[in-house]
Structure 1
Amino acid sequence: MDPAEESPSMLWGLDPIFSSFARLYVRDILQMTESTQVPGIYFYNSHPVYKVDVLGTVVYKREREDFFCYGVDDGTGVINCLCWKNDLLKEEEDPAKFGGKHSDAAHGGFNPVAELKKLRQAQQNCCRLEIGELLRVRGPVKTSRQQREIIASTYYKVNDPVMAVQIAWMMEVPGLYRKCYDKPLQLQHNAMSDSAISSVSKATNIIKDFLMQKVVSRFRPYDVQDLLQPLVSCQPETTSVDQEPVAGPSACQQLRQLLKESLEILEDEGIIYRKVKSQDEVYNVTAQDKDLIIAVKGIIREDSKREKYAEKGCHILHILSAVRQRYSLNVSKAALELVLKSLECNSDIVSTTDNHYTVF
């Protein structure tokens, strides 16, 4: 693969193949190209791969003190598999350890030492393979001395006398190739979604900065609409075949949609709210709405004198209900929390618990 065609490493996690053991043919594992960004990562048809799952026949073996080297042939090629020994395999069997001191088994009793010996022997049989036996191995792919190999994290001998496992494998892997491996990684849709999210985020920040710098107490949508104009593309969309313009939303429609989504986000955050919902869209800026601040402070001062709220103060839900009854039905909890935070910072009120407020 051309280095310019590699997807950025930050996007590799979007590909489900990257976090799984890819069941690739040995031929494809040997032909994969290594990433120029991160050594040890390989690409098959634009899919990042670093760990694989292989089933094949042992065609050669070498044993060292700490590991086995098995050559695995799956019918498309042969790859070397480095299989580390566990501690039980490294230990040398002590004849005296399994001596004849315990003779309970001969009399029909349970001999734990003999059973342990059987379990150990069974484990050794699964890890020690001979040429011609079937091996399944999983692990990351490495390149050592210019040769591709698998560093096994899991490996075991497969008992398959009627070839049921091999047949199931040969039927499953081609399906994985058709559905996953042979389909190029598509990140365009995600990139477009990220672009749309980024535009709304930028628009929201632009409006926030405008409200803060100009100390605006109320505004209408058309007062801030022109601020978002640079974020809207005026170029018509084209197809990849004949490059002819495709019908789509106009720049004016895009601008209105962007403004609508940004104002909705600001409302959800409580930064703005509409005191009265009418055809004349007027938004109040919560932090600059002195009438709302006075109303909230007055409610807490008056209701804190009541016996019910004298000890802990007024609960935030009680304050919200009172504000909606006495001031505006459209004040959200998020907007009220901003007002309460501002009053507490100015030492006008104090919180007795996380949700209760009273005056000094």
Structure 2
Amino acid sequence: MDQPLHLVHVKILAADLLSLTVRHTSPTTFLRCGRRVARAELVGVVVSRDRREKFLRFLVDDGTGCVPCILWLNHQYLNARTSSGPSSDHDPTAEMALKMSEEVRLGTLLRVRGKIASYRGAIQITVRDVVPNDPNSDVLHWLQCVRLAKECYDLPPRSAQGRT
């Protein structure tokens, strides 16, 4: 049975992520060796940071390339506008997004997971979570990416393997 890569966060290097094949269908799909991927996990250093009212945009560099990431912060603003109750009602999603945005500092090594998206023709990650990382985990992530690429991601789908 074919492994459904679109259901998991694929551990991937920036160069591989940025070179995914993009199919402009509805919704947009991303392919690696003919297999659909939808979520990614990467580890790298924050090299750019731009915070606005509703989002935080940043770049993560893992040594093979820079991946644009966007963390949406506007849950808190939508909650505040629609809430008629006291301000003691907190939106946990907004609180988590704000806490994660504080972790994103220039020069910080992070693990970023999220949904692969396309914005203005460029691949980016819509961030689900951000975790500061130990510098040793960077090497482990690289090794896992190489191993998983060879053993899982870069294999043709099983239906194509049976035809050869």
Question: What TM-score comes out, normalization by structure 2 length?
Answer: 0.76
Q: Secondary structure at the match of 1:142?
A: strand
Which residue number corresponds to residue 153 of structure 1?
128
The structure-2 alpha-carbon separation of the partners of 1:37 and 1:60, relative to structure 1 and needing over 3 Å to count, comes to closer
Q: Secondary structure at the match of 1:177?
A: helix
**In structure 2, C-alpha distance between the alignment counterparts of 1:28 and 1:189, rounded to whole Å:** 22
Q: How does 1:235-314 map to 2 (within 5 A)?
A: none
The structure-2 alpha-carbon separation of the partners of 1:68 and 1:36, relative to structure 1 and needing over 3 Å to count, comes to closer
Which residue number corresponds to residue 87 of structure 2?
none
The structure-2 alpha-carbon separation of the partners of 1:189 and 1:29, relative to structure 1 and needing over 3 Å to count, comes to closer
**In structure 1, C-alpha distance between the alignment counterparts of 2:123 and 2:7, rounded to whole Å:** 20
Are 2:2 and 2:157, in contact at CA under 8 Å, matched by a contact in 1?
no
Counterpart of 1:187, as a letter, is: S
- Answer 1 or 2: higher relative contact order, Cα 8 Å, separation at least 6: 2
Counterpart of 1:127, as a letter, is: S
Q: Secondary structure at the match of 1:132?
A: coil
Shift of 1:172: 1.5
The structure-2 alpha-carbon separation of the partners of 1:155 and 1:60, relative to structure 1 and needing over 3 Å to count, comes to same
Which residue number corresponds to residue 178 of structure 1?
150
**In structure 1, C-alpha distance between the alignment counterparts of 2:123 and 2:6, rounded to whole Å:** 18
Q: How does 1:1-360 map to 2 (within 5 A)?
A: 14-35=2-23, 37-85=25-73, 87=76, 124=99, 126-128=100-102, 129-158=104-133, 160=134, 163-187=135-159
The structure-2 alpha-carbon separation of the partners of 1:23 and 1:152, relative to structure 1 and needing over 3 Å to count, comes to same
**What percentage of aligned pairs have identical amino acids?**
24
CA deviation profile, 1:282-331 (whole Å, cap 9, x unmatched): xxxxxxxxxxxxxxxxxxxxxxxxxxxxxxxxxxxxxxxxxxxxxxxxxx
Are 1:61 and 1:130, in contact at CA under 8 Å, matched by a contact in 2?
yes
**In structure 1, C-alpha distance between the alignment counterparts of 2:115 and 2:156, rounded to whole Å:** 22
Question: What TM-score comes out, normalization by structure 1 length?
Answer: 0.37
Which residue number corresponds to residue 280 of structure 1?
none
Are 1:127 and 1:156, in contact at CA under 8 Å, matched by a contact in 2?
no
Shift of 1:42: 0.7
Structure 2 portions without partners, runs of 5+: 81-94
Shift of 1:185: 1.1
**In structure 1, C-alpha distance between the alignment counterparts of 2:108 and 2:50, rounded to whole Å:** 14
> Is the strand fraction higher in 1 or 2?
2
Are 1:53 and 1:138, in contact at CA under 8 Å, matched by a contact in 2?
yes
**In structure 1, C-alpha distance between the alignment counterparts of 2:160 and 2:147, rounded to whole Å:** 25
Are 1:141 and 1:148, in contact at CA under 8 Å, matched by a contact in 2?
yes
> Is the helix fraction higher in 1 or 2?
1
Are 1:54 and 1:138, in contact at CA under 8 Å, matched by a contact in 2?
yes
Which residue number corresponds to residue 83 of structure 2?
none
**In structure 1, C-alpha distance between the alignment counterparts of 2:161 and 2:153, rounded to whole Å:** 19
**In structure 2, C-alpha distance between the alignment counterparts of 1:50 and 1:173, rounded to whole Å:** 16
Which residue number corresponds to residue 97 of structure 1?
none
CA deviation profile, 1:77-103 (whole Å, cap 9, x unmatched): 101100122649x99xxxxxxxxxxxx
Structure 1 portions without partners, runs of 5+: 1-12, 92-119, 192-239, 241-360
C-alpha root-mean-square deviation of aligned residues, in Å?
2.8
